[in-house]
Amino acid sequence: MVTAADEPGSPEQRPTRVRYQIVLMLFIASCFSYGDRVMLSIAGISFSKDLHMDAVRLGYLFSGFSWAYVVGQLPAGGLLDRFGSKRIYGISIIGWSTCAILAGFAGYLPATLAFLTIFALRLVSGMVQSPVFPGNGRIVASWFPTAERGTASAIFNASQYFSLVLFAPILGWISNAWGWKQCFWFVGTAGIVLSFVWYNVVYGVKSHPRINRGEIDYIERGGGLVNIDPGAGSASAAKAPKLTWAAIKMLLSNRMLVGIYIGQYCITTLTWFFLTWFPVYLSRARHMSITKVGVMAALPALCGFAGGILGGVVSDRLLKSGRSLSFARKTPIVAGMLLSVTMIGCNYANAEWVVMVLMSLAFFGKGFGALGWTVIADTSPKPLIGVNGGLFNLIGNLAGITTPIIIGYIVKRTGSFHDALIFVVATALMAIIAYLPIVGEIKRVDLKLPEPADGKA
């Protein structure tokens, strides 16, 4: 909300910096979202024994979240564009926290019924979490000028690494001290508390009670889309387009966007390896205790977090120095994916410290190159930021379905993680191919959407 002191004719004010509070809130909320996903991999070490689950069955359980998460992306994008980010995102936090609490109680059921119940709750959790990252991208596009968008997107995207740093040791300790059910209860309760904070911190640009006119003008002059939320004060905000197959077809007909989608699928394959099978790899292939797994899994994740922040900062500095948008975004992506290939050395290393160094380098590289959400904020058609973010996240998170299952089958068939690491490295190299020959020049897409006949979507 702009106060009277900000009206024309009032003394010039120094712009506020409310946007930094907003991106911090996105980072915290995303950490909790990824913490919910990390929880299953840490708790899975214990309950896979209690529920008599082999590698393939565990892989399917790891993937259950992503089945519904993927299906929910396009509807979530449409809901974000229609009802605004604050409301839909807040409902998402409450929903996934409730699922986590209920999953803990499922542990009292017989083994087969407990597995089916947890799998069903993971499906629901995936569905209700589907607005999180499209919402993040949409809020950053609204709150940040183009030259700051890389850093802002890198901050919320780095949550996937920091969630391991934060939650893996805590959940490892909880699981060892009390049991895996308590891991679910801890994450669920913390999420409910988070939802109250969310509704008191996040607002649209022009409706925030602590922003002044100077910051609004700064964001708008720099390319921030301050009018995209309902009630933002513009006709375009009030007439958010409905989700239609014509819009989806237009997005999928754009070569640049398709290349970005493919690149995100490849990069997300690395994400899901680290979120699901990496702790299991440390436990089974490197014979670490569950408590040690929690600590050791956090070390590469800390490097991933540093890489994630640094990648966005480097990209924005390249842009400010006069480099093209394509050069500024692609350079960290290609360099990061090349660095992530170092994990293949783990197949030839026996020393535990060498494995951790190689995995840390790979995680740093993965973080450094994870600029997909920045690129989506730069390229999405203005009326379809939520929908394009949803489609981008849908295709990217197909890796959340395929990666756990493929690795599960590889491990069961070969009895080792050797070929699993080869599979992950190959997808990193494919990400480079997607961004270099396929994507081409990075620029905002200008789509002209026809009105649906008879007002129907």
- Domain CATH code at residue 220: 1.20.1250.20
Q: How confident is the model at residue 26 (pLDDT cuts 50, 70, 90)?
A: very high
Residue 457 pLDDT exceeds 70:
no
**Does residue 376 fall inside a structural domain?**
yes
Q: Is the pLDDT of residue 98 over 90?
A: yes
Q: Does residue 40 surpass a pLDDT of 80?
A: no
Compute φ and ψ for 321, nearest 5 degrees: -80, 0
- Give 114's contacts (C-beta < 8 A, 6+ positions apart): 51, 106, 107, 108
Q: Which of these ranges, 61-70, 371-380, 391-400, has the smallest mean pLDDT?
A: 61-70
Instruction: Work out the average pLDDT over 428-441.
Output: 92
Does residue 3 lie within any of the structural domains? no
Region 65-69 average pLDDT: 82
Is the pLDDT assigned to residue 157 strictly greater than 80?
Answer: no
- Cα torsion 387, 389, 393, 396: sign: positive
- Output the pLDDT for position 24: 92
Query: Mean per-residue pLDDT for 152-178?
Result: 80
Give the residue-averaged pLDDT of 441-445.
85
- What would the mean pLDDT of 382-411 be, rounded to a whole number? 83
Q: What percent of the chain has pLDDT over 90?
A: 23
Mean pLDDT of all residues in 50-78: 76
Longest dimension (CA), the chain: 74
pLDDT at 13: 67
State yes or no: pLDDT of 11 exceeds 60.
no
Asked if residue 1 belongs to a domain, the reply is: no
Task: Provide the CB-side half-sphere exposure for 427 (13 A, CA).
Answer: 25
| The pLDDT of residue 43 is above 80 | no
Q: What is the pLDDT of residue 238?
A: 42
What CA–CA distance (Å, rounded) separates 228 from 362? 37
Of 237, 275, 200, the residue nearest 382 (C-alpha) = 237
Quickly count: other Cβ atoms within 10 Å of residue 427's Cβ: 20
Helix, strand, coil percentages, rounded to 5, for the chain: 80, 0, 20
How many domains, in total, are found in the chain?
A: 1
pLDDT value at residue 5: 42
| In the predicted structure, residue 61 carries a pLDDT above the cut 60 | yes
- Residue 188 inside a domain? The answer is yes
Q: Is residue 93 part of a domain?
A: yes
For the cut 70, the answer to whether the pLDDT of residue 125 exceeds it is yes
Of 31-40, 95-104, 289-298, 428-437, which range is least confident? 289-298
Tell me which of 83-87, 237-241, 266-270, 317-321 is least confident: 237-241
What average pLDDT does this structure show over 183-197?
92
Tell me whether residue 258 is in a domain: yes
Q: What is the pLDDT of residue 409?
A: 87
State the Rg of the chain over Cα. 22
pLDDT at res. 269:
93
Q: How far is the C-alpha of 327 from the C-alpha of 32, rounded, in Å?
A: 33
Residue-number span of the structural domain to which 156 is assigned: 13-225+235-455
Across the range 368-383, mean pLDDT stands at 83
In the prediction, which pLDDT does 260 show? 94
pLDDT value of residue 226: 66
Q: Which amino acid is present at 13? A: Q
